[in-house]
């Protein structure tokens, strides 16, 4: 059983996914499933999942999507629908294999978008809520500008060396799969808003007021079409759980306990 191990790989048949498991402190609570950003993996969360588990009593399951961390590689370029695929196909199969019972999806950036697609585009029978950290529901120029800067940093700066520590042999797969999709001219038409009305569970969006990857264009549709609670944080950029960890931790605790 995978739950006997704190770290390991989950075999979904067509891909093998790296995971980390933090055991619950209390029985009967939902499990928090963490979905990482576009350049993330299990390791990028550092000790934040452990702090969430301690604060809420919940078990926490963290995984690296294919092409990231120590998970299976993928071919690049990725299709521009890669987040649709993760939310509508891969995540349902993963949750079915894990048999966790009730879950709360905790996604950051791309991971938050995938969580919203899953919650609104599938039966998502076991999903009790969604916590979306700096989600994207459409593309906008501020996002593309920052991703262009990341490309420059990867090609001529130290970003590749830093990411290699996270992704190992997957580093080029992880970066170009993300960067290539977002900078494809056709990706300016990318939009996930059609899935928002289908979300029937509570949603909380947490976004930094200084987010360099997105504006109110991202969270206002989630408020309007999915009834989301919006928490905007000062002195906070694209990673609220890093820039304002204590505030995010407190907000997650309130959200989890509000679900009973």
Which domains can be identified in the chain, with CATH numbers? 2-258 (3.40.50.1820)
- pLDDT at position 177 is 97
Separation CA 33–CA 107 (nearest Å) = 8
Nearest to 87 by CA among 184, 246, 198: 198
Separation CA 129–CA 115 (nearest Å) = 10
- Residue by residue, pLDDT tens for the chain (260 residues) are 778 779 999 999 999 999 999 999 999 999 999 999 999 999 999 999 999 999 999 999 999 999 999 999 999 999 999 999 999 999 999 999 999 999 999 999 999 999 999 999 999 999 999 999 999 999 999 999 999 999 999 999 999 999 999 999 999 999 999 999 999 999 999 999 999 999 999 999 999 999 999 999 999 999 999 999 999 999 999 999 999 999 999 999 999 999 97
Note the Cα 12 to chain centre separation in Å: 19
Three-state SS at 112: helix
- pLDDT at position 2 is 76
- pLDDT at position 109 is 98
Separation CA 199–CA 119 (nearest Å) = 5
| pTM for this predicted structure | 0.97
- pLDDT at position 5 is 78
| Cβ-contact 233, 209 below 8 angstroms | yes
- pLDDT at position 53 is 97
Separation CA 119–CA 125 (nearest Å) = 9
- pLDDT at position 260 is 73
- pLDDT at position 210 is 98
């Amino acid at each position: 059983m995978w739950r006997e191990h704190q770290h390991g790989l989950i075999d979904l048949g067509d891909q093998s996914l790296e995971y980390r498991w933090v055991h619950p402190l209390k029985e009967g609570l939902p499990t928090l499933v963490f979905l990482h950003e576009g350049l993330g993996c299990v390791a990028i969360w550092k000790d934040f999942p452990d702090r969430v588990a301690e604060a809420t009593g919940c078990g926490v399951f963290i995984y690296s999507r294919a092409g990231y961390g120590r998970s299976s590689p993928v071919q690049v370029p990725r299709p521009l629908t890669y987040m649709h695929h993760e939310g509508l196909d891969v995540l349902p199969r993963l949750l079915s294999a894990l048999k966790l019972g009730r879950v709360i999806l905790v996604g950051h950036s791309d991971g938050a978008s995938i969580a919203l697609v899953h919650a609104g585009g599938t039966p998502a029978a076991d999903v009790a809520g969604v916590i979306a950290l700096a989600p994207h529901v459409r593309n906008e120029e501020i996002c593309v500008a920052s991703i262009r800067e990341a490309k420059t940093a990867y090609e001529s700066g130290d970003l590749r060396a830093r990411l290699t520590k996270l992704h190992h042999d997957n580093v080029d797969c992880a970066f170009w799969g993300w960067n290539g999709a977002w900078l494809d001219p056709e990706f300016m038409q990318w939009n996930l808003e059609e899935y928002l009305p289908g979300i029937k569970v509570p949603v909380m969006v947490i976004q930094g007021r200084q987010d360099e990857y997105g504006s109110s264009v991202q969270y206002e549709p989630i408020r309007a079409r999915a009834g989301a609670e919006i928490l905007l944080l000062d002195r906070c950029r694209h990673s609220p759980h890093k820039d304002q960890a204590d505030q995010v931790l407190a907000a997650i605790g309130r959200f989890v306990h509000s679900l009973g």
